[in-house]
Structure 1
Amino acid sequence: LLGDTRDAYRIWKQQGTRPIIEATRKGDRVAARALVRTGTSRNLYNDVRTYTHALEDQIRIRREAAATIQADQFVRLSRILNISILVFFGLLAMFSLLLLRGVLRPLRELQDQLVEVAQDGHHEEPIVPSGPPELRDVGQDAETMRRTLTREVDRARQADEGLAQQGPVVAAIREELADSHSEPVAGLDFAGVQEPAEGVLAGDWWSAQVLYDGQLAIALTDVSGHGPEAGMEALRLKHVLELSLAQNADPALALSHAASGFRVASRFATCIVVVIEPQTGFLTWANAGHPPAWLITDSATTELVGTGPLLSVLGGTWTNQHTHLDIGALLLLWTDGLTESHDEQRAELGDDGLAVLVSDAITQEETSAGIIAHLLAAARARSADWRRDDVTCVAVRRV
């Protein structure tokens, strides 16, 4: 049709208009009028219009058809897209279900078993692996570790039983030093851990006792040396300090009473005593040459520095100092066996290294017991000579 339209236009131009135009240019108006009167030009022009209208109709029809096809394709594309989305979410749901059944559920079961085994009295319960091979391998490794730890617990229990049977005095001293006499105190979360360097007797001890006026007294002592002699001296100091605090609630006076009992010139001890009022957080301390305790808040760390000499036959004078334990703040006390531990390169942990470990523990743990467990585990993993000296650590947080 487009070709017919072009041919009609060409014929109309050559046969219908050109002769008239040429006659007009030559000035032969009579001939031009005669050509017009013949109607040839009009007829040829009408043919062009007819073909043009037909071409326009054809273009319109094809445009409408193309629009219809486009609309159909859009609908089809929308349907395909919707089906694809449904298939995607279906596959996602299937994958989530498989992930839940194949990975997350076995992992949660393994976690529950590990938590159960970690509880006192549940060490004998086996860990049953499940899930994909990778998780089964992890579960099997956990079961192997449980068996190893169970054997070690059995050996330790047997050693304790043997000690109780063959060395009842040593066993009694150890139990007395390990007993912090702690009772729950509303508003304060506190915990402590003592790890002896050799045998079962440590020269370190810590104590938490509720005083007659409701205050909490925390005492941490490090007697020089370790072993039976240090244990005996530590036991004497513990009884004297606890009795003095129970009667007077005065840290400095308690240190004076403790120092008066030294008889051997080569024996000495460091000690820090802290008394806290749970309701107000008012804190009183006296420090006899012990590493300064840290009072840690979100914005600063305050040291509870020495307020007198260490405890020995030389005696001395100690004074009380005061500060506040705000809600959320942490009080951390430790013996030098912690900060003087060495890594493989013989580098001491020191205060700077301890600060890093404490910061990490506070970030990851919420309770005082959790903070101490995290801190000591990290320090022990770093140390190459962990049992070189007694290690004791105490934490108090006001809640």
Structure 2
Amino acid sequence: MGVAPWWSARESAGRVSLTRRLSGASLLALLVLVLGGGLVVVTAQQLGTAQQQLTRETRARQATSDLLRQYVDQETGLRGYLLTGEVELLAPYELAQRQLPGVRRDLREGLRAVGGDVAQLETLEQAHAEWYAYAQEQVAAVGRGERAGPSSIGTTMLGKTLFDDVRSAEETLDAQLEGLQEASQRETHRLQTRLVVSTAGGLAALALLLGLGSLVTVRQVTQPLRRLAGATRRVADGDLSAQLRAEGASEVRELAGDVAAMRDRLLADLDRTRQALGALDQEDRAVRAVRQALLPSPGRVEGVRITARLDAAEGVLAGDWYDTVQVATGRLGVVVGDVAGHGPYSAVFALRLKHSLATALRTHAHPGAALTAVCAELRDVPAELFATVFVCVVDTGTGTLVHANAGHPPALLLPAGDEAGTGVRFEELPPTGPLLSSIVAGEVWEEVEHPFGTGDSLLTFTDGVLESRSPDGVEFGLDGLLAAIGRTPRQDPARLIDAVAADALRHARTPGRRDDHTLVHVLREIVGGRDPAALPVPVLPVATAGGTPRG
């Protein structure tokens, strides 16, 4: 059931990891890209320079051709004038002579630009100067009416010889430029070929590296991961004997080994898990029984409506509870308690206090006396177990509320008449004695009487509500509580306590609660305005985080 050993330990240790392979391939690809790119850039620059040189050489040859054309125009015009004596035929001769300085200047600059032989140009100019001196003598002779001399065979042959020297010098210069041009053409062709080859070679090398990288990835990662995923799904479906083949890259093999180790651990702990689940099932039944026992008693009195919610801390048994006890006709006792800590010990202590206080209220009918009696029975309780408790009795006959407070956060007495958004008038009902603990056994709690007429209400809560903290450590506190009350319609108790609970949770900015949150609202209703049988029966809060039990 372990990992299939496809290699020896020495082979495994000698293999190069996929990370190193990919890093090496990436470095090689980068090197190819840099070298190939550099070669392409240098070749492109050299090709541009060669093409510019070729262009300059072409222009120099064109200037040489233009110079020869000017010479030919002069020679043709001279010959016609010597044969006919017509002055109009000298126009090309004279025009060419005026244009020759500019053409020679362009040719001289072109030769210097391409590295040509400027001395050959000077030879050409010297040959033309000799011919031009001859031509000027013939033009002057014809102008004097001496046509026989210029028309003689000797004179004509002399002119032809001189002009042939001009042609020969031009041909030599043109041949030199042609050689330079052909060399530049060959260099341009060579650079073009190198540019194409280097570009194609670089792309081919990158394509080869990409192909090899893809092949390595498929064979060393993709395929092994696909097979490992299939085997892992079989393990997840319950086949703990499925073979997890370790193959491919070292990282994938390590992953397969980790998954196999997890599978083997699950298999080894399966029996222990079954035993633990059985124990948890038994414990869960006990937890449910404790929660059920902490539900409030169905005590009610016509004209008093109780609305409450208890949100337990995340994942633990609640240490908070509340209860309602019918003390006598028209008199309803309300108890809200908070045991220190969470879990089974706190829940069992809360259950003991709940039943003891309910019995004491029925026996003594007064909050202070009930707290005094219960505390006297706590001598056997460890000192680390203690509770804060708020107890009140609402008397609809006298329109009063009597409270005693054992170290609990002050409840808020809210007079009738306030509307949402108009501010909150309230009276705090502070502690009237210490908290309940074995170390104060024999203590006596005072009680205080308050008017509690129609429309008045009481809101009591545990410290988990006030001590809800934001991430920066700021408590929700009394200000947050009053802000939620102030914007909520007072005639809807359920909406009011939901608003307070939601604001406290939003203030903490966490999905769960670190402490129990309990809110109990007592409203004095109009008697006779509704059917007493239709009054809601208090419902025990569900002790799971986020619940909203209401009575």
Relative to the length of structure 1, the TM-score reads 0.56
Q: Write out aligned runs for 1:101-112 (5 A).
A: none
**Distance in 2 of aligned mates of 1:164 and 1:245:** 36
**Distance in 2 of aligned mates of 1:258 and 1:166:** 29
Matching residue of 1:326: 453
Deviations 1:8-53 (A, max 9, x none): xxxxxxxxxxxxxxxxxxxxxxxxxxxxxxxxxxxxxxxxxxxxxx
Give the alignment partner of residue 391 of structure 1, picking from 502, 506, 517: 517
Matching residue of 2:413: 295
Give unmatched runs, 5+ long, in structure 1: 1-161
For the residue of structure 1 that corresponds to 2:289, the secondary structure is: helix
How large is the RMSD of aligned CA atoms in angstroms? 2.0
Moved more, 309-318 or 223-232: 309-318
**Distance in 2 of aligned mates of 1:381 and 1:208:** 30
Matching residue of 1:312: 437
Give the alignment partner of residue 296 of structure 2, picking from 154, 173, 180: 180
Matching residue of 1:373: 498
**Distance in 2 of aligned mates of 1:185 and 1:258:** 24
Give unmatched runs, 5+ long, in structure 2: 1-278, 419-423, 526-551
Supply the AA of the counterpart residue of 1:351: L
Q: Write out aligned runs for 1:1-399 (5 A).
A: 166-177=283-294, 179-262=295-378, 263-297=381-415, 298=418, 300-315=425-440, 316-361=443-488, 363=489, 366-385=491-510, 386-399=512-525
**Distance in 1 of aligned mates of 2:506 and 2:457:** 23
Q: Is the 8 A contact 1:290 1:306 kept in 2?
A: yes
For the residue of structure 1 that corresponds to 2:362, the secondary structure is: helix
Q: Is the 8 A contact 1:251 1:274 kept in 2?
A: yes
**Distance in 2 of aligned mates of 1:307 and 1:166:** 38
Supply the AA of the counterpart residue of 1:212: A
**Distance in 2 of aligned mates of 1:375 and 1:332:** 11
Matching residue of 1:136: none
CA 1:329 to 1:214, structure 2 compared with 1: closer, same or farther past 3 Å? closer
CA drift at 1:281:
2.2
**Distance in 1 of aligned mates of 2:486 and 2:449:** 25
CA drift at 1:200:
4.8
Q: Is the 8 A contact 1:252 1:320 kept in 2?
A: yes
Supply the AA of the counterpart residue of 1:341: S
Deviations 1:155-178 (A, max 9, x none): xxxxxxx9776532221111111x
CA 1:312 to 1:183, structure 2 compared with 1: closer, same or farther past 3 Å? closer
Q: Is the 8 A contact 2:386 2:435 kept in 1?
A: yes
CA 1:318 to 1:374, structure 2 compared with 1: closer, same or farther past 3 Å? same
CA 1:312 to 1:327, structure 2 compared with 1: closer, same or farther past 3 Å? same
Q: Is the 8 A contact 1:282 1:323 kept in 2?
A: yes
CA 1:175 to 1:194, structure 2 compared with 1: closer, same or farther past 3 Å? same
Matching residue of 1:123: none
Q: Is the 8 A contact 2:309 2:497 kept in 1?
A: yes
Q: Is the 8 A contact 2:302 2:330 kept in 1?
A: no
For the residue of structure 2 that corresponds to 1:211, the secondary structure is: strand
For the residue of structure 2 that corresponds to 1:167, the secondary structure is: helix
CA 1:183 to 1:242, structure 2 compared with 1: closer, same or farther past 3 Å? closer
Deviations 1:289-329 (A, max 9, x none): 10010001237311111111111112222111100112212
**Higher RCO (CA < 8 A, seq sep 6+):** 2
**Distance in 1 of aligned mates of 2:301 and 2:515:** 31
**Distance in 1 of aligned mates of 2:328 and 2:305:** 19
Question: What is the number of residues matched between the two proteins?
Answer: 235
CA drift at 1:183:
4.2
CA 1:331 to 1:166, structure 2 compared with 1: closer, same or farther past 3 Å? same
Q: Is the 8 A contact 1:189 1:368 kept in 2?
A: no
Supply the AA of the counterpart residue of 1:281: G
Q: Is the 8 A contact 1:189 1:367 kept in 2?
A: no
**Distance in 1 of aligned mates of 2:283 and 2:343:** 17
CA drift at 1:284:
0.7
Q: Is the 8 A contact 1:259 1:311 kept in 2?
A: yes
Q: Which of 1 and 2 has greater Rg?
A: 2
Q: Is the 8 A contact 1:286 1:319 kept in 2?
A: yes
For the residue of structure 1 that corresponds to 2:484, the secondary structure is: helix
Q: Is the 8 A contact 1:219 1:271 kept in 2?
A: yes
For the residue of structure 2 that corresponds to 1:272, the secondary structure is: strand
Deviations 1:334-371 (A, max 9, x none): 0000000012332101111111112122x3x6332222
Deviations 1:80-136 (A, max 9, x none): xxxxxxxxxxxxxxxxxxxxxxxxxxxxxxxxxxxxxxxxxxxxxxxxxxxxxxxxx
CA drift at 1:261:
3.3
**Distance in 1 of aligned mates of 2:280 and 2:486:** 39
Supply the AA of the counterpart residue of 1:256: T
